[in-house]
């Protein structure tokens, strides 16, 4: 568990600043080693089943890297999707199919994403698993994101909708990004679990 102070004493914006600074200190070698560790955890806990429909993401800067997990998923014939910002002004994000030959272009934040005009979208209810980036996560699965709110807005329906099977939500983090408690907002959606380079941690609720 990280020694970062609990958000009962430190507010969300301060924690966000602290975690960004800590993540910047991750070296390229450490990021690559963590990516290998994440892949090992996914294999050990049998997270990926053949044919699953999975939302992944492209790591930005020293964010926890999914490249090895993506390779494993493709070998298991999983169908992958990337988060894509459809409308920046209103913060609308969707999940777009991500095949090996999909052409990517940088969005306003410099993150590679498919062109939504030419790619296939998937309804949220048809995804089996969403691997979610984060800055910090607590033991109950509450996530602190980067502040843009794109995932919060896209996943908010999962809190209210009970009539259809929801995708499993797993956060992806470095071990140091785990904290004891994060204060959450009414629109936040808790994760089902988090994986780090060390292990998989189910949310304790």
DSSP string of 9-71, one letter each residue: TS-HHHHHHHHHHHHHT--HHHHHHHHHHHHHHHHHTT---TT-EEE-----TTSPP-HHHHH
Q: How many domains does the chain have?
A: 1
Burial of residue 67 (CB within 10 Å: 0-12, 13-18, 19+) is: middle
Give pLDDT, residue 8. Answer: 45
Domain presence at residue 79: yes
Domain presence at residue 46: yes
Domain presence at residue 2: no
Print the domain residue range for 147: 12-202
Measured CA to CA, the distance from residue 106 to residue 108 in angstroms comes to 7
Query: How far from 169 is each of 22, 41, 84, CA to CA, in Å?
Result: 24, 16, 17
Domain presence at residue 198: yes
Residue whose structure tokens are 């609990």: 6
For the segment 87-114, what is each residue's pLDDT rounded down to a tens digit?
A: 766 667 899 999 999 999 888 888 889 9
Burial of residue 117 (CB within 10 Å: 0-12, 13-18, 19+) is: exposed
Domain presence at residue 3: no
Q: Positive or negative CA dihedral for 41, 1, 156, 119?
A: negative
Measured CA to CA, the distance from residue 162 to residue 194 in angstroms comes to 22
Give pLDDT, residue 7. Answer: 45
Query: How far from 121 is each of 57, 78, 81, 82, 87, CA to CA, in Å?
Result: 15, 16, 8, 9, 14
How far apart, in Å, do the first and last CA atoms of the chain sit? 17
Domain presence at residue 4: no
Lowest mean pLDDT among 6-10, 41-45, 109-113, 198-202: 6-10
CATH of the domain at 16: 3.40.50.10420
pTM: 0.90
């Amino acid at each position: 568990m990280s020694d970062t102070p609990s958000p009962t004493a430190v507010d969300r914006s301060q924690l966000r600043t602290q975690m960004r600074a800590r993540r910047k200190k991750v070296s390229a070698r450490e990021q690559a080693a963590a990516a290998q560790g994440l892949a090992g955890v996914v294999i050990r806990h049998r997270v990926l089943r053949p044919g699953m429909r999975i939302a992944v993401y492209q790591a930005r800067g020293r964010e926890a890297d999914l490249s090895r997990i993506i390779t494993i998923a493709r070998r298991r014939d999983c169908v992958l999707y990337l988060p894509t910002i459809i409308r920046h002004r209103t913060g609308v994000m969707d999940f777009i199919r991500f095949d090996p030959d999909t052409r990517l272009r940088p969005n306003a934040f410099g993150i590679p994403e498919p062109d939504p005009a030419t790619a296939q979208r998937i309804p949220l209810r048809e995804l089996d698993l969403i691997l979610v980036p984060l800055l910090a996560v607590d033991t109950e699965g509450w996530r602190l994101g980067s502040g843009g709110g794109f995932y919060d807005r896209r996943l908010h329906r999962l809190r209210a909708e009970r009539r259809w099977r929801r995708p499993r939500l797993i956060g992806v983090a470095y071990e140091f990004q785990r904290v004891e408690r994060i204060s959450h907002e009414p629109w936040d959606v808790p994760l089902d679990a988090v994986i780090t380079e060390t292990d998989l941690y189910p949310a304790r609720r």
